[in-house]
Structure 1
Amino acid sequence: SEESDGKLIEDSLIQLRCHFTWKLLIEAPEIPNLENKIVEEIQFLDTKYNVGIHNLLAYVKHLKGQNEEGLESLKEAKDLIQKEHANQADVRSLVTWGNFAWVYYHMGRLAEAQTYLDKVENTCKKMERTEMDCEEGWALLKCGRKNYERAKACFKKGFEVDPENSEFCTGYAIAVHHLDGFNTATERNEAFSLLNPDDVYIKVLLPLKLQDKGQEAEGEKYIEEALTSMSSQTYVFRYAAKFYRRKGSVDRALQLLKMALQATPTSALLHHQMGLCYKAQMIQIKEATNRQPRGQDRENVDRLTIMLKATFEMAYVDLAEMYAEMGHHRKAEDIFQKVLCMKIVDDHKKQEIPYRYAINHYLNKWDLIKLHKKMSYSREKLLNALEKLAKRHVHRNVRVVESFSLLGLIHKLKGEVSDALLCYDRALRLTADLNPMF
């Protein structure tokens, strides 16, 4: 029977080694931020390990109930395997196949789940255990501090078997770096020796380690070399900014953070780093004036206070968006209202915060029109973003009537009358289908 088939498949799925069985410690409030980090990495980090990151994105999509989108990410991973590892595609595909099987199982598509289980069974005897340890290590490493110790253990097992394998070396070094205060001096020195300056990601990690060891001048050479590269620039800017802030070159750090924000303007991490820089500048001024700034120094402190406050305002917005993404709309609304009631001085923030509020909430007709008039300089940005959001909801079959109504209003505000009428007509037809008595 279908029920017994499902139980047999479930028993087989539990035996797989993949993201669904690795017990990745991810709490619900962390999911939106993790997804953003994954998407940023796919977009901005040039790395040899992209197959794993697409697999992790598929798992995160599943956690959000978006299994169709999860399948798309797994197809991306499958295409990358064929492109980058064609000579060992079967071995490299085991984790991806396992994830396919789990997603299809959760979608109730048992035949497809069984197909991928068969692929795994036919191939797994060729697979070295260390290969799976490496895949698991990268997944754990991406999922936050609670997973770092297990990630280190996975990479260490692989590294001890194959010390020449660059994936094991890089993963182990990064895990030890993240756990710096919890490792022995021997482990830290061993990991430090494994850092390969030819890897762009490592090229900005290595200077921070050199800085810790009192070799700042040597570290700065690697930073400047990385900054001349066109590869992974957003990541380079982020770590280089941290290096210069710790060095005391706060102006340089701020310059780099602003460049990184151009690519990822909603990054909570970057806004936090900006706040640390403003705080450092305030401390510098206060110490130089014996904590009694006057005249221009007083004005600079006041200006920095406002800018520091702005970073906290955006942190509140990030938190509200996270709650909205999780479906906790009441919490999101409460936080947004708190921010919207703040006395915001920065002109950009005056428009950015209502804009992001609009993106995360379906506004009623009159609210949207008022907001549209109020935000004249970014009206196209607002309408395009809302249009994208509404179309995504239509595609996912979420609040479809409201989504078509919103699309109609957007087309109307853009002057696209015929398109507006088509959307309004579609919304009315759907309403009639849902309420046949009318």
Structure 2
Amino acid sequence: MSENADDHGIQDKLWQLRCHFTWGLEIEDNAIPDLESRVMEEIEFLDTRYNVGIHNLLAYVKHLTGQDEKALQSLREAEDLVQREHADQADLRSLVTWGNCAWVYHHMGRLAEAQTYLDKVEDTCKKFASPSRYRLESPEMECEEGWALVKCGGQYYERAKACFERALRVEPENPEFSLGFAISSFRLDYDDENVISLEPLRRAVRLNPEDAYVKVLLALKLQDVGQEKEGEGYIEEALNSTSSQPYVFQYASKFYRKKGCVDKAIELLKKALEARPDSGYLHHQLGLCYRAKLFQVKNGKNMNPRRQERENVHRWVQLAIKEFQETLRLRPRFEMAYVHMAEMYAERGLYREAEENFQKALCMDNLADHIQQDIHYRYGCFQQFHMRSEDKAITHYLKGLKIEEMSFARKKLISALEKLAKRRVDQNVSVVESVSLLGLSHKLKGEVKEALLCYERALRLTDQLNPVF
């Protein structure tokens, strides 16, 4: 009875802690291997002064896979890093690690050790005059939570950004808080036209001048907003550094691919893969480069003789498919890899294989809204241009548009629907429906007058087709 009471008392205390076990990190079982792989890669290849959090996250992942002894080893490494990196505020910076230790020992049934770490947390909370015995509100704690959230996937980026934002209100010039805020903003800034991350990235580069990783992120954002020349300067700085090279190569390759220098991008990705051969993200990026080479062949001004052209197209398609297959072997829930592979199968005329891969992406749950929009857009294009099914294309353009998030994918959906509706009106195909769809596209673009004219025309056509006697 006493043991049960002790356990219940400890559980009440554990839930008051701020640590990975209480931050609501819901990680599906099939996503854990990918997360663990990414965490291990960061520990090995990402040069940063802020490594404590990544060891804490690795400990949490180890616990989720039933490896509590390895979790404790990671937590000991985190404690050692705190002593080396934050000796002047070791107790404050150890709170998350101690909280995780308490939770792991509790899961192992070692209640005395769990209580020891709870006592450490309590002593620190007293030292900093916290009104809670086991919970301390501080910018450092916000930062630790922010790092955990930003590493665990897109569904947590908004929360991560908010954590770093709260920390910056207290210490606006703190380099670590600034870096975390910039990275979480960049992850949310998925539209090329958005600029929410531009100034945070500039500030992070100013406060972390030796961090090559954040320089390449800034370069990509500058490229997005039409300042490519300035961005390339940061790319060159980062490439001339020895810091975080596999990650620098990864993002620099994306910069050069978007610039049209696809061979340079492929060269950098192959260098990155030498260090990180099991990175699904890198294989996906290489597949996108091969896809870009395909489009260069198809759109080239100096076309090759027909047979050679077909051989080049076939070669780049096959290389792209191979990389996307490897991506999905390493990251089975990478939704856009299914979509991109489907598009490559469609290029080959392998429509059954294309359909299978599109369906895998369409059936995935817990996807960000803009990702769902993009999948419906691309599947709609497949139906329209490869399967010659305009009705199915319209169905998926409309499904994508029902998701109301403002995004670049939404703009593409509106444009695709408008073009298809115009063509159907011109060709006198399902005219009432087509005119109505044209009205909808105007409405979604905020063109109220044009939308009303279309809807009035649709009504007149309906009356003509169904006269009242």
TM-score, normalisation: structure 1: 0.70
Which of 148, 155, 164 is 2:173 aligned to?
164
Residue 75 of structure 1: aligned partner = 76
Give the conservation status (yes or no) of the 8 Å contact 2:31–2:333.
Answer: no
Pair 1:148-2:165 in alignment: no
Give the conservation status (yes or no) of the 8 Å contact 1:285–1:293.
Answer: no
Change (3 A) 1:227 1:294: same
Q: How far apart in 2 are the matches of 1:67 and 1:91?
A: 24
RMSD value, Cα: 2.2
Give the superposition deviation at 1:159: 0.8
Residue 253 of structure 2: aligned partner = 241
Structure 2 unaligned blocks of 5 or more: 129-135, 335-469
1:293-312 counterparts in 2 under 5 A? 294-312=306-324
Which of 282, 285, 300 is 2:294 aligned to?
282
Q: How far apart in 1 are the matches of 2:188 and 2:170?
A: 22
Q: How far apart in 2 are the matches of 1:103 and 1:251?
A: 48
Q: How far apart in 2 are the matches of 1:212 and 1:61?
A: 38
Q: How far apart in 1 are the matches of 2:154 and 2:191?
A: 12
Deviation digits for residues 333-363 of structure 1 (CA, Å, limit 9, x no counterpart): xxxxxxxxxxxxxxxxxxxxxxxxxxxxxxx
Give the superposition deviation at 1:69: 0.7
Deviation digits for residues 19-65 of structure 1 (CA, Å, limit 9, x no counterpart): 00011232222111111000000000010111000000000111111
Residue 120 of structure 2: aligned partner = 119
Residue 257 of structure 1: aligned partner = 269
Give the conservation status (yes or no) of the 8 Å contact 1:176–1:183.
Answer: no
Give the superposition deviation at 1:128: 5.3
Give the conservation status (yes or no) of the 8 Å contact 1:286–1:292.
Answer: no
Aligned partner letter, 1:81 = V
Aligned partner letter, 1:278 = Y
Aligned partner letter, 1:99 = N
Q: How far apart in 2 are the matches of 1:202 and 1:27?
A: 29
Which of 179, 183, 196 is 2:188 aligned to?
179
Residue 3 of structure 1: aligned partner = 4
Give the superposition deviation at 1:205: 0.6
SS state at 2:205 partner: coil
Pair 1:84-2:85 in alignment: yes
Q: How far apart in 2 are the matches of 1:246 and 1:256?
A: 14
Q: How far apart in 2 are the matches of 1:245 and 1:54?
A: 33
Residue 282 of structure 2: aligned partner = 270
Residue 63 of structure 1: aligned partner = 64
Q: How far apart in 2 are the matches of 1:270 and 1:171?
A: 23
Instruction: Name whichever of 150-159 and 311-320 sits farther off.
Output: 311-320
Aligned partner letter, 2:94 = S
Q: How far apart in 1 are the matches of 2:333 and 2:275?
A: 19
Residue 314 of structure 1: aligned partner = 326
Change (3 A) 1:321 1:162: closer
Change (3 A) 1:154 1:293: farther
SS state at 1:231 partner: coil
Aligned partner letter, 1:200 = A
Residue 232 of structure 1: aligned partner = 244
Which of 132, 139, 154 is 2:141 aligned to?
132
Aligned partner letter, 1:277 = C
Residue 205 of structure 1: aligned partner = 217
Change (3 A) 1:313 1:227: same
SS state at 2:33 partner: helix
Identity %: 60
Change (3 A) 1:84 1:277: same
Residue 395 of structure 2: aligned partner = none
SS state at 2:317 partner: helix
Q: Which runs of 4+ in 1 moved over 3 A?
A: 181-190, 289-293, 319-322
Structure 1 unaligned blocks of 5 or more: 323-438
Aligned partner letter, 2:77 = E
Bigger radius of gyration, 1 or 2? 2
Give the superposition deviation at 1:8: 0.4
Aligned partner letter, 1:240 = A
Residue 229 of structure 2: aligned partner = 217
1:337-416 counterparts in 2 under 5 A? none
SS state at 2:277 partner: coil
Q: How far apart in 2 are the matches of 1:278 and 1:186?
A: 29
Q: How far apart in 2 are the matches of 1:164 and 1:121?
A: 29
Change (3 A) 1:205 1:182: closer
Aligned partner letter, 1:300 = N
Structure possessing the higher relative contact order (Cα contacts under 8 Å, 6 or more residues apart):
1
Give the conservation status (yes or no) of the 8 Å contact 2:101–2:114.
Answer: yes
Q: How far apart in 2 are the matches of 1:157 and 1:79?
A: 27
Give the superposition deviation at 1:97: 0.3
